[in-house]
Amino acid sequence: MNHLDPQRHVRGESQYLDDVPEQQGTLFAAVYESPLAHGVLNGLDLSAAQRSPGVVRILTAQDIPGRNQIGGIVPDEPLLAEGHVHFRGQPVALVLARTEQQAHAALKLIQADIEPLPVITDPRQAAAQGELIVPPRTFRIGDSAGAFAGCAHVFEGVAESGGQEHLYIETQGAYAFPTELGGVKIISSTQGPTAVQRHCAVVLGIGMHQIEVDVTRLGGGFGGKEDQATPWGCLAALGAFLTKRPVKLVLDRMADMRMTGKRHPYSSDFKIGLDQDLKILAYEVTYYQNAGAAADLSPAVLERTLFHTTNAYCIPNVTAAANSCRTNLPPNTAFRGFGGPQGMFVIESAITKAAEALGVLPSEIQRRNLLREGDLFPYRQPAEGCHAEQAWDTAAELFDLDGQRAAVAKFNQDNQLFKKGVAMMPICFGISFTKTFMNQTRALVHIYTDGSVGISTGAVEMGQGVNTKIAQVAARTLGISINRIKIESTNTTRVANTSPSAASATADLNGKATELACLALRERLLRHASTEFAVDYEGIIIENEQVLAAGIPAETTWEKLVSSAFVRRVALTENAHYATPGVHFDASTESGHPFAYHVYGTALTTATVDCLRGTYTIDSVQIAHDFGQSFNPAIDRGQIEGGAVQGIGWMTLEEVSYNNEGRLLSNSLNSYKIPDLYSVPAVLDVHFLDTPGHPNAILRAKAVGEPPLMYGIGAYFALRDAVRAFRPGTALPLVAPLTPERVLGALYPEFVTVGQLAAS
């Protein structure tokens, strides 16, 4: 079964926000952004812009009829700046004009009177000044302070990881239409239709029932549209509500890069203690998360960092403290992995530092400390169905770790100016929203009288193939062809109060709700068949569109079953609710069972560094991954490949850079590099481990969205290994991304100093 959409994508038939035909009278919106990162907003001069050709109206905070508030977790974020500006790119005013060009032309005529205030871009500086988004949190198990005393080896260090631009192909946007009862319908490029609906209702001061949000598909999200599609939806809705005309707002690429938040950069202190046998006895870590100017999802991201503090390892004594630090950058947000990768980078850094100091391979420490069945995570959920060792050992054997190491050693002996490196990267990722209440959704399934089926759920298709999977689940459960099934747009009037499509849980949650609805419909139809044909209900099945049981006529097809059920007034619609069983968490003790299950795997990565130039290639990434029982290996493999490459980008090429005034320097694809086809490893193997899956996973096929991103961390350590082959024994900073500039600096520390991009 292939992904259902790509053929339509390639033919240009798939409908995105910008493909919606424009209604007559549509106004085009453009956002006036704060030109400074921090300051007092004394006034706005809109007069010239208001006289500009085509301008119909310019909206500011004063025009908001409800509350000027779109904070998702903490109410600390205005839709339009009021009194102060807190980051460069913060929306201050909205120009509505007859054409997009006229709206953009008018932006240039707006003058803001802003009194500058000091700008903070560094999270540690923010923490030192008490600028925390929420109080710090600490996860604790055992007694780390006490355990260090008994350690043979103790190492300390600092690790830093950078931001990451989502770079969804479709930029942020929304198209809003006034509706007849004073409400608004919004077509939004969002992962969270309900989030857009809820915040629009607050901003407009009307009920959620007056707001309808509809999503057909997104051209990518990666977390960037989990919370941060909301401002554009609200701004378009505000325009439509006040002017009674349709309003379309689409960000161009550079505006999107300037105005939206990214993956959180982290700066972290770590301390790791091992015994003689390389068992990790104690680990302490303090994270400083660069949250940007408002909370957005930062507290939840911070929490997921804590949940992934020890990656795939069992460490008996852990203290992990986390600070979410307020800076004058655009609010950072969800990004595939959601804080997990940042936490895992630090423990891998600590292990590598220890290994380098002890003169052993990092893999010796890694392998010795992998989780086993029943081991406790620092939040006291046991590892259940643990495949950490199986994944590692399979990868090591199947991909011949020893042989590859020997070949690399030989290569490094034979070559002076090119060096190769190797790294193993185990992963363990928890599946579920960490906020237990978010693990719920619904599915609405209609069987039409001709036997075709329409399905609505809370799932948003963003390229990940969730619609294909839901259609497969329905086809299997009902025993019919997938060609009869249509997955409808995601719409808040059909499925309400949904969580965003996020946390790798979308196929599990919405697939399970669909399965429940289809099971109920199947049972109803089979009961009808048993009455109609006077046969025992227990023996009847539907298979390949045939209704089968002794006593049922051979020509009884799905279509006949459905039409006869309709005539007998059997309900052909079902609405099912699914809530993940067994998940709970108590924040007062920082313990519980937050995850439905964990996903495991291991990647073996090799890289080659050109030691004259600092350039490099990631040669191979070979992965043994725990899919459970995949029912769509094509889609699932694609997620692993894409995630691994996106993770490699985060760890190597992609450098989000702001200057000290909070201005984004990496503001286009000239200065922000992402992996392209040429930087994908020539060898990218994905082995499907033989694992049973989990009953909470849809059809026992485990979640695949976020876990593979963290395989990319292996690329960082493979490069580091290669650099150390050129300069044995050198102490390298643990700073990511390891760009070619940083590699050159590491190869020639006496000649090359790596600073920031020059301010342009």
Number of residues that bind ligand LUZ (CB under 6 A): 12
d(CA 372, CA 57): 63
Q: Any contact of residue 338 with ligand LUZ (CB under 6 A)?
A: yes
d(CA 553, CA 565): 16
d(CA 202, CA 451): 41
Q: Any contact of residue 26 with ligand LUZ (CB under 6 A)?
A: no
Handedness of CA 277, 282, 286, 289 (dihedral sign): positive
| Binding residues among 560-599 for ligand MOS as defined by CB under 6 A | none
Closest distance to ligand MOS from the beta carbon of 505 (Å): 8
**DSSP-based three-state secondary structure for 424:** strand
Q: Any contact of residue 434 with ligand LUZ (CB under 6 A)?
A: yes
DSSP string for 147-204: HHHT-SEEEEEEEEE-------SSPPEEEEEE-TTS-EEEEE--S-HHHHHHHHHHHH
Q: Any contact of residue 331 with ligand MOS (CB under 6 A)?
A: no
Candidate segments 283-291, 331-339, 399-407, 594-602, binder of ligand MOS by CB under 6 A:
331-339
Q: Any contact of residue 431 with ligand LUZ (CB under 6 A)?
A: no
Which of 186, 190, 251 lies closest to 221, judged by CA?
190
Q: Are 698 and 507 in contact (CB under 8 A)?
A: yes
Closest distance to ligand LUZ from the beta carbon of 177 (Å): 29
Cα-only R_g, the chain? 27
Contact of residue 433 among ligand MOS, ligand LUZ, none (CB under 5-8 Å per partner type): ligand LUZ
DSSP string for 471-539: HHHHHHHHT--GGGEEEPPEETTTS-SPPPS-TT-HHHHHHHHHHHHHHHHHHHHHHHHHHHTT--GGG
Q: Token digits for 48? A: 């010239």
d(CA 176, CA 188): 8
* Count of CB atoms situated within 10 Å of the CB of 718: 33
**DSSP-based three-state secondary structure for 21:** coil
Which of 291, 168, 185 lies closest to 233, judged by CA?
185
Which of 72, 92, 74 lies closest to 83, judged by CA?
92
Q: Any contact of residue 461 with ligand MOS (CB under 6 A)?
A: no
Which is nearer to ligand LUZ, 334 or 466 (by Cβ)?
334
Candidate segments 244-252, 432-440, 620-628, 713-721, binder of ligand LUZ by CB under 6 A:
432-440
Which is nearer to ligand MOS, 336 or 724 (by Cβ)?
336
Q: Any contact of residue 85 with ligand LUZ (CB under 6 A)?
A: no
Among 334, 365, 395, 495, binds ligand LUZ (CB under 6 A): 334
Bridge partner list, 611: none
Q: Any contact of residue 218 with ligand LUZ (CB under 6 A)?
A: no
Residues in the chain, overall count: 760
Contact of residue 300 among ligand MOS, ligand LUZ, none (CB under 5-8 Å per partner type): ligand LUZ
Q: Any contact of residue 335 with ligand MOS (CB under 6 A)?
A: yes
| Binding residues among 292-331 for ligand LUZ as defined by CB under 6 A | 297, 300, 304
Among 502, 635, 644, 743, binds ligand MOS (CB under 6 A): 502
Candidate segments 103-111, 115-123, 173-181, 329-337, binder of ligand MOS by CB under 6 A:
329-337
Which is nearer to ligand MOS, 366 or 432 (by Cβ)?
432
* Count of CB atoms situated within 10 Å of the CB of 466: 23
d(CA 236, CA 176): 6
Nearest residue to the partner ligand MOS, using Cβ? 223
Catalytic residue among 559, 706, 741, 750: 706
Site string for ligand MOS, 706-745 (x = CB under 6 A): x---------------------------------------
Count the alpha carbons within 13 Å of 484 in the hemisphere toward its beta carbon. 22
Which is nearer to ligand MOS, 502 or 599 (by Cβ)?
502
Candidate segments 103-111, 230-238, 429-437, 485-493, binder of ligand LUZ by CB under 6 A:
429-437
Q: Any contact of residue 291 with ligand LUZ (CB under 6 A)?
A: no
Closest distance to ligand LUZ from the beta carbon of 226 (Å): 6
Q: Any contact of residue 703 with ligand MOS (CB under 6 A)?
A: no
Which is nearer to ligand MOS, 434 or 602 (by Cβ)?
434
Which is nearer to ligand LUZ, 394 or 501 (by Cβ)?
501
Q: Any contact of residue 191 with ligand MOS (CB under 6 A)?
A: yes
Residue 488 is among the residues annotated as catalytic for this protein: no
Q: Any contact of residue 336 with ligand MOS (CB under 6 A)?
A: yes
DSSP string for 440-475: EEEEEEEE-TTS-EEEEES---SSS-HHHHHHHHHH
Q: Any contact of residue 165 with ligand MOS (CB under 6 A)?
A: no
Closest distance to ligand MOS from the beta carbon of 226 (Å): 4
Count the alpha carbons within 13 Å of 137 in the hemisphere toward its beta carbon. 23
Q: Are 365 and 310 in contact (CB under 8 A)?
A: no
Closest distance to ligand MOS from the beta carbon of 156 (Å): 31
Q: Any contact of residue 578 with ligand LUZ (CB under 6 A)?
A: no
Q: Any contact of residue 433 with ligand MOS (CB under 6 A)?
A: no
Closest distance to ligand LUZ from the beta carbon of 38 (Å): 28
d(CA 625, CA 604): 11
**Which residues 6+ apart lie within 8 Å of 74 measured at CB?**
133, 134, 294, 295, 299
| Binding residues among 197-236 for ligand MOS as defined by CB under 6 A | 223, 226
Candidate segments 332-340, 418-426, 517-525, 721-729, binder of ligand MOS by CB under 6 A:
332-340
Which is nearer to ligand LUZ, 151 or 502 (by Cβ)?
502
Cis peptide before 737, with omega less than 30 degrees from 0?
A: yes
**Which residues 6+ apart lie within 8 Å of 182 measured at CB?**
206, 210, 241
Among 151, 503, 719, 735, binds ligand LUZ (CB under 6 A): 503
* Count of CB atoms situated within 10 Å of the CB of 389: 17
Provide the pairing of β-strand 584-586 with 591-593.
Answer: antiparallel
Contact of residue 191 among ligand MOS, ligand LUZ, none (CB under 5-8 Å per partner type): ligand MOS
* Count of CB atoms situated within 10 Å of the CB of 499: 23
Q: Any contact of residue 547 with ligand LUZ (CB under 6 A)?
A: no
Q: Any contact of residue 137 with ligand LUZ (CB under 6 A)?
A: no
Contact of residue 434 among ligand LUZ, ligand MOS, none (CB under 5-8 Å per partner type): ligand LUZ
Bridge partner list, 376: 382
Contact of residue 335 among ligand LUZ, ligand MOS, none (CB under 5-8 Å per partner type): ligand MOS
Q: Token digits for 460? A: 């948003």
**DSSP-based three-state secondary structure for 398:** helix
Q: Are 480 and 419 in contact (CB under 8 A)?
A: no
**DSSP-based three-state secondary structure for 536:** coil
d(CA 121, CA 2): 45
Number of residues that bind ligand MOS (CB under 6 A): 10
Which is nearer to ligand LUZ, 334 or 445 (by Cβ)?
334
Q: Any contact of residue 503 with ligand MOS (CB under 6 A)?
A: yes
Which is nearer to ligand MOS, 191 or 490 (by Cβ)?
191
d(CA 346, CA 713): 10
Binding site for ligand LUZ (CB under 6 A): 226, 297, 300, 304, 334, 338, 433-435, 438, 502-503
Catalytic positions, please?
706
The residues binding ligand MOS (CB under 6 A) are 191, 223, 226, 334-336, 338, 502-503, 706
